[in-house]
Amino acid sequence: MSNDALAWIETELAELTASGLRASIRTIDSSMDGWVTIDGRRVLNFCANNYLGLANHPRLREAAKRAIDQYGIGPGAVRTIAGTMTQHLELERRLAEFKHAEACITFQSGFTANLATVPALMGDGDLIFSDELNHASIIDACRLSKARTIRYAHNDIDDLRRKLAGAPQFRRRLIISDGVFSMDGDIAPLDKLCEVAEAHSALLMVDDAHGEGVLGKGGRGIVDHFGLHGRVDIEVGTLSKAFGVVGGLVAGKQPLIDWLRQRGRPFLFSSAMTVPDVAACIEAVNILQESDELVTQLWENARILRAGMQTLGFDTGHSQTPIVPLMLGDASLAQQFSRKLFEQGLFAMAIGFPTVAMGKARIRVMNSAAHSQADLEQALDIFEAVGKELKVI
């Protein structure tokens, strides 16, 4: 009986396969780095969010090993029962200090940080104004909160103002935006969002997943980038991308963080980050506080790659960050392009509908400080060869 009840899944999967929309998931058989092993081959990796090359950094590896020797591995509980270890508090204190925020709380991931935060602040009778291109975790968090969500046009402050002015009765209002939009690499106009939020007495939340460790002085994030310390109510971030580990964070004023410790459901009902994760994250903060070398290297690599692509004649969109979209338009062309890149020894994903709008398919090229100058030159040679073969350039 139970098999029959699941039969629809096979039908749906078959349809996904037939329409070319079934995700084929590549398996990495090496550490995450500028080069990775896939299907027994070493390939240049322009696919991961390992912006600073910390995912396989010797200091993070050592820190994780030392912590395991001292504290073991699992926390054994959710944070509010027995899962808060001295290291969790140390990481939160260090992150707050690094980001010049009053306080900080960590979660198991950036996704759960969003799921914790929005429903803890907003509920029935409240209004959320959400950028139309916000990340799935924000969309889900808004749904979970049961507040009414009004989408405004992407990065369009005038549309946001209009929608705020025409908004119906409400209890609380929250404006929420990604910091860096990960498919185009553009940056939210946080300074203007801040002005609008202040003018309308609305809360402002930014999800800086792709700006954490990338934007701002030494990677201190989007709030630092715009010099808005103390003016953005809720700064969500991730430790899973530039920080090279896994985890999420919220930085803000002390009462907000105290509230999330009481009402952020993933904090209360899902086990804490593991010991090696936390120790590695602390080491990542140490590295970033000591020097901005990796952040500078990332931006320099991105500059070289973007300039090289443009010289070759590729359309690299309007990214303002180390994410370089190679705009191709047609989804099957993008798929083919990605396959050819892989054949030539470079791993970069094709992104198509519904992740981006129909007709806006692309290869998303993710830069990393882990790439050497020779890697970048080799990558540009491969992009040129595939671009010419497929008559894109």
Ligand X SMILES: Cc1ncc(COP(=O)(O)O)c(C=O)c1O
Q: Which of 241, 338, 360, 371 is catalytic?
A: 241
Residue 352 touches ligand X, criterion: CB under 6 A = no
Q: Does 213 bind ligand X (CB under 6 A)?
A: no
Q: CA dist 279 to 68, 131, 273, 274, 291, Å?
A: 9, 34, 10, 9, 19
Paired tokens of 288: 């970033």
Query: Which stretch in 39-47, 204-212, 279-287, 301-309 sits in contact with ligand X by CB under 6 A?
Result: 204-212
Q: Does 321 bind ligand X (CB under 6 A)?
A: no
Among 137, 182, 319, 368, the one annotated catalytic: 182
342: buried, middle or exposed (CB in 10 Å: 19+, 13-18, 0-12)? buried
For the chain, the farthest-separated pair of C-alpha atoms sits apart, in whole angstroms, at: 61
- Show the binding pattern over residues 220-259: x = contacts ligand X (CB under 6 A), - = does not: ------------------x-x-------x-----------
- The two tokens of residue 155 are 């990065």
Instruction: Identify which of residues 360 and 364 has a Cβ nearer to ligand X in the complex.
Output: 364
Side by side, the strands of the sheet bearing 203-207 are: 103-107, 248-252, 234-238, 203-207, 173-178, 127-131, 148-152
User: Taking CB under 6 A as the rule, does residue 135 contact ligand X?
Assistant: yes
- Tell me if 75 contacts ligand X by CB under 6 A: no
Q: State which residue, 49 or 382, has the beta carbon closest to ligand X.
A: 49
By beta-carbon distance, which residue lies closest to ligand X? 110
Please report whether residue 177 would count as binding ligand X according to CB under 6 A.
no
Active site residue 210: yes
Evaluate whether 108 touches 83 at the Cβ level (below 8 Å).
Answer: no
Distance between CA 391 and CA 204 in Å, rounded? 45
Q: How far is the CB of 307 from ligand X (least distance, A)?
A: 25
Rounded Cα–Cα distance for residues 263 and 269 (Å): 10
- Establish whether 241 is a catalytic residue: yes
Q: How far is the CB of 50 from ligand X (least distance, A)?
A: 12
Place of tokens 């903060």: 285
Q: Is residue 319 at the binding interface for ligand X, with CB under 6 A as the rule? A: no
Choice between 280 and 382, CB closer to ligand X: 280
Q: How far from the centroid of its chain's Cα atoms is residue 305's Cα?
A: 21
- The verdict on 178 binding ligand X (CB under 6 A) reads yes
In our burial notation (b when 16+ CB lie closer than 10 A, e otherwise), range 147-182 reads bebbbbebbeeebbbebbeeeeeeeebbbbbbbbbb
Q: Are β-strands 349-351 and 234-238 bridged in parallel, bridged antiparallel, or unpaired?
A: unpaired
Q: Which of 210, 225, 360, 371 is catalytic?
A: 210
Our finding on whether 130 is near ligand X (CB under 6 A) is no
Q: Is 297 in the site for ligand X (CB under 6 A)?
A: no
Both structure tokens of 121 = 């602040």
By the 8 A CB rule, do 322 and 366 touch?
yes
Report, in Å, the least distance between residue 25 CB and ligand X.
15
Tell me: does residue 106 bind ligand X (CB under 6 A).
Answer: no
**CB nearer ligand X, residue 83 or residue 179:** 179
Q: Is 318 a known active-site residue?
A: no
The smaller minimum CB distance to ligand X, of residues 180 and 341, is found at 180
Under the rule (CB under 6 A), what is the footprint of ligand X? 109-111, 135, 137, 178, 182, 207, 209-210, 238, 240, 248
- Give catalytic residue positions: 182, 210, 241
